[in-house]
Amino acid sequence: MIITPIQVRFNDMDPMRRVNNSTYGSYLELGRLDFCQRYLKIEELEDIPFVLVRVEMDLRASLRPGTEVNVKTWVSAIGTSSWEFSAHILGASDGKIYVEAKTVQVYFDYRKDCTRPIPDEFRAFLEKEMN
């Protein structure tokens, strides 16, 4: 599990002065990229071993300017060629959950432009990171 601090920016807001619902997907992406940078030793974009195929989000509360938030990301399920990240976008100081989300990634070889079953070494890594 990793915790990624998020800076809520002015352009994340909608006219009602809350984070626009389309922005939450970007916050989740920052969590996935942080996961890659911390654990996968990514040197080039082609080294990212997955493609995103599904996103589910439940918006629990409105996020407003000035609120410090984090994205908490963890591996929650592993299949043959795909795995699931679960995530919470939550208040940094109080732990209030603003968004609960799940994403599904498929193991993908960008250099060969194809999906593959998750290799044993990578599967062992995901299993170690599973909560």
**Per-residue pLDDT tens listing for the chain (131 residues):** 899 999 999 899 999 999 999 999 999 999 998 888 887 777 777 888 899 999 999 999 999 888 999 999 999 999 999 999 999 999 999 999 999 999 999 999 998 999 999 999 889 989 988 86
Half-sphere exposure of 79 (CA within 13 A, CB side): 10
Rounded-to-integer distance, Cα 15 and Cα 29, Å: 23
Closest CA to 79 of 110, 30, 42, 122: 122
Closest CA to 109 of 34, 39, 29, 47: 47
Cβ within 8 Å of residue 33, ≥6 positions away: none
Rounded-to-integer distance, Cα 110 and Cα 129, Å: 23
Q: What's 2-129's CATH class?
A: alpha beta
55 token code pair: 């996103």
* pLDDT for the residue 66: 87
**0.75 exceeded by pTM:** yes
